[in-house]
Amino acid sequence: MPVIKTIRWQPWAVWVGLALAVLFIPFPTAATTPTDRTYHIEASRFEYTPAVLTANPGDRVTIELTATDVVHGLSIDGYNLVTTADPGQTARLTFVADRQGSFRFRCTVTCGNMHPFMIGKLEVGHNTLFWRAIVLSGMTLVAGIWKLKK
Amino acid sequence: MSTLQEIPWLDKAAADENAKAIRQARTVRNRYNLLRISWLLPLLINRWPQFVIRAMTLAGFVFTITAGLIGTRVGSHNFAIIFVWIAWWTALKLSFIPFGGRSWCSICPIPLPGDWLQQGGILTKGRGLGLNLHWPKRLKGSWLQSGAFLLIGLFSAVTLTDPRVTGWVFVALFGLSIGLSLVFERRAFCSHICPIGGFTGIYAQTAPIELRVIDTEICAKHDDKSCYRGCPWGLYPVAFRDSATCGLCMECLRACPQDNLALNLRPFGADIGKPRTAKRLDEAFLTLVMLGSVLAFTSVFVGPWGWLKSAAYAIGSLRWVGYALGFLALNLIVLPGLFSLAVWAGQKYTGKKFPLNREIANQAQALLPLGLMAWIAFTVSFALPKWGYVVAVINDPLGWGWNLLGAGNILWSPDVSGFSPVLQVILLLIGLFWSANVARRLADSDYRRTVPIQVFCLAFTLGMLWLLIG
């Protein structure tokens, strides 16, 4: 097969092909039954407790936000949701976690100087972007070392 | 090493190895002299355009200090915090440094008052004030800049969020610059102290712009050395090996009677990846401090750990002492230790014996692209969601309830959750690959020597990925 013999696999084409595969191959996910989850979050200056929430895709999540010192708020990146709690009061927010990944939630009411950095994290299912990025980093390193060998 | 006093081969520059290297570099392709653009040269030769821009930046910083000192104490509503740490700091990392190297230094207002006092004039020189002492030899290099950056890092949670502190920090920077201009010759503050100068200097080596001599033979025959005498930084352009020290002020261009200087457009990272014979451990240390600082800043400002934010903010408390010790340990022990171990392992593995200090200084170049991209990714992560604050503080710069733009209290919060994490991943992967490429160039023929460096870079990348999008 002379045609096949003349084909020279360009390593970069292979790398790009693999990278595209890493980017777009669907992530294996275990089927889970959506459940109701309730998180009670205490918001004090610059801190949410707990700061990391987890849910499965499709879960119905209720967040009860209690402000312990001054007025605090909560909005979740990627979810068009916002709530505010007065000191000593509890505000409630319910939504369906229909977007998979890792999302930061932030305080929406100026509560002090570190207010812009008052952040928590909502993890819905697998953080596919993170895992794909890890694999791509490894591939980038292998490509770098392979290039060194040449 | 770019000052006249430090160049013993000055009189026979053309015959020297360094001059030959520079001459060879001049003939390398992939350079385009921007001064060939007919309208650009007059703009740069004339001091007025630069002066007007610097006067504007000076006015901006004076207003920033005023807003910081008399405006609201709520950082996110004060022009000083948003202008400095969101607008300016973002512009520096996303445009000035990656595309213009030290171009910010050419319009920075901080050395301006000191320059005027030292020179006795604004656009022309008169009878200046000051002692004009030489900078102490033992204080040369980037060590003090590393120390200044670490100092800012220790107090970052307050400096970046408290308008009064930001205002006083800038008063201190102006005061220090003026004081040093009155004691030492030229721009001692910019060259040896300024933490921003240290930051821009090391990453300017990756930027696609350089100022270089066109023909070193001409310089060798020119006894007057007017470029050196005119340089406020005390640099001699013939000696430039990289763009870390040149502040692109263009004074050499104005002083050269032979038009023997070029402002070259060049490939990204043209300064790095070349084995260096000089031991510049100070530059290697500064490079590692930048890596450690971006890890620490990302943890404090982007991470979900409220206890860490509180510890970093509670200056003087026991919690803050813990934060400070952790921050210093990361920057002074952990990262330098791991990197030294990686360099040592590379030598051990290949059986090649070079002086370890020289190898550390040499291999640290590979960390520059990754460090720059990590800073850009960090900036994208925290600045993009906060961009709406810029409009808000222009509308009400002092937080006194003004409504200058008629924007009211509406805070525009762009939803960047879709593309911002993807952009951060792309930036870090570019940095990792670029660093691997630089390591390859430093490896000569034995690739195994840099494998531990590559692993170090991978570990740093994974750490940043976890902090930013994990």
How would residue B277 be classed by pLDDT, with cut points 50, 70 and 90?
Answer: low
β-pair type (A82-85, A72-76): antiparallel
B208 to chain A, closest Cα gap in Å: 22
Please list every residue in chain A whose beta carbon sits closer than 8 Å to the beta carbon of residue B310.
45-47, 114
Name the residue in chain A with its Cα closest to that of B456: A141
Q: A48 and A119 in one domain?
A: yes
Q: A65 and A23 in one domain?
A: no
Which residue out of A70, A136, A140, A147 would a mutagenesis test of the B interface target, given it has the greatest number of B Cβ atoms within 10 Å? A140
Phi then psi for residue A105, to 5 deg, are -115, 150
> Looking at per-residue confidence, does B81 or B351 come out higher?
B81
Please list every residue in chain A whose beta carbon sits closer than 8 Å to the beta carbon of residue B303.
119
How would residue B272 be classed by pLDDT, with cut points 50, 70 and 90?
Answer: very high
Question: Would you call B396 an interface residue with chain A, using a CB distance cutoff of 8 Å?
Answer: no
Q: Estimate to the nearest angstrom the gap between the alpha carbon of B349 and the chain centroid.
A: 34
Please list every residue in chain B whose beta carbon sits closer than 8 Å to the beta carbon of residue A112.
74
Query: What pLDDT shows up at residue B355?
Result: 86
CB nearest to B74's CB, from A46, A110, A133? A110
Model pLDDT for residues B401-437, shown as the tens digit of each residue: 898 988 766 666 667 777 899 999 999 999 999 999 8
pTM of the model: 0.91
Model pLDDT for residues B155-174, shown as the tens digit of each residue: 999 999 999 999 999 999 99
Query: What pLDDT shows up at residue A10?
Result: 79
Q: A114 and A47 in one domain?
A: yes
Distance CA A46, CA B161 (A): 12
Query: What pLDDT shows up at residue A150?
Result: 61
Q: A86 and A44 in one domain?
A: yes
Q: Estimate to the nearest angstrom the gap between the alpha carbon of B384 and the chain centroid.
A: 21
Query: What pLDDT shows up at residue B419?
Result: 87
Question: Would you call A139 an interface residue with chain B, using a CB distance cutoff of 8 Å?
Answer: no
CB nearest to B454's CB, from A80, A104, A141? A141
Question: Would you call A137 an interface residue with chain B, using a CB distance cutoff of 8 Å?
Answer: yes
B84 to chain A, closest Cα gap in Å: 15
Query: What pLDDT shows up at residue B27?
Result: 52
Q: A82 and A11 in one domain?
A: no
B130 to chain A, closest Cα gap in Å: 40
Burial class (CB in 10 A: 0-12, 13-18, 19+), B444: exposed
> Looking at per-residue confidence, does B113 or B440 come out higher?
B113
Query: What pLDDT shows up at residue A40?
Result: 97
Q: What does the pLDDT profile of chain A (150 residues) look like in tens digits?
A: 455 555 566 778 888 899 999 988 888 777 788 899 999 999 999 999 999 999 999 999 999 999 999 999 999 988 888 999 999 999 999 999 999 999 999 999 989 889 989 999 999 999 999 999 999 999 998 887 777 666
Q: Does the distance separating the beta carbons of B305 and A145 come in below 8 Å?
A: no
Question: Would you call B440 an interface residue with chain A, using a CB distance cutoff of 8 Å?
Answer: yes
Please list every residue in chain A whose beta carbon sits closer than 8 Å to the beta carbon of residue B461.
137
Name the residue in chain B with its Cα closest to that of A76: B417
Question: Would you call A24 an interface residue with chain B, using a CB distance cutoff of 8 Å?
Answer: no
Question: Would you call A102 an interface residue with chain B, using a CB distance cutoff of 8 Å?
Answer: yes
Q: A108 and A70 in one domain?
A: yes
Q: Does the distance separating the beta carbons of B469 and A127 come in below 8 Å?
A: yes
Please list every residue in chain A whose beta carbon sits closer than 8 Å to the beta carbon of residue B435.
144
Query: What pLDDT shows up at residue B3?
Result: 46
Burial class (CB in 10 A: 0-12, 13-18, 19+), B278: exposed
Please list every residue in chain A whose beta carbon sits closer than 8 Å to the beta carbon of residue B447.
145, 148-149
Q: A23 and A47 in one domain?
A: no
Model pLDDT for residues B192-250, shown as the tens digit of each residue: 999 999 999 999 999 999 999 999 999 999 989 999 999 999 999 999 989 999 999 99
Q: Does the distance separating the beta carbons of A136 and B436 come in below 8 Å?
A: no
| Residue-number span of the structural domain to which A98 is assigned | 36-125
Domain count within chain A? 2
Question: How many CB atoms neighbour CB B132 within 10 A?
Answer: 13
Q: Does the distance separating the beta carbons of B415 and A78 come in below 8 Å?
A: yes
Q: A120 and A47 in one domain?
A: yes
Q: Does the distance separating the beta carbons of B73 and A113 come in below 8 Å?
A: yes
Question: Would you call B378 an interface residue with chain A, using a CB distance cutoff of 8 Å?
Answer: no
Q: A104 and A46 in one domain?
A: yes
ipTM: 0.90
Distance CA B359, CA B364 (A): 8
Question: Would you call B102 an interface residue with chain A, using a CB distance cutoff of 8 Å?
Answer: no
According to DSSP, the residues that pair with A4 across neighbouring strands are none
Q: A85 and A16 in one domain?
A: no
Distance CA B8, CA B12 (A): 9
Question: Would you call B155 an interface residue with chain A, using a CB distance cutoff of 8 Å?
Answer: no
Instruction: Could you list the beta-strand ranges (E) of chain A.
Output: 36-44, 47-49, 52-55, 60-67, 72-76, 82-85, 90-96, 101-106, 119-124
> Looking at per-residue confidence, does B286 or B277 come out higher?
B286
Which residue out of B156, B166, B305, B349 would a mutagenesis test of the A interface target, given it has the greatest number of A Cβ atoms within 10 Å? B305
CB nearest to A129's CB, from B77, B302, B469? B469
Q: A113 and A80 in one domain?
A: yes
Question: Would you call A28 an interface residue with chain B, using a CB distance cutoff of 8 Å?
Answer: no
Alpha-carbon separation of residue B235 from A83, B43, B317, B427 (angstroms): 57, 22, 44, 34
Q: A98 and A45 in one domain?
A: yes
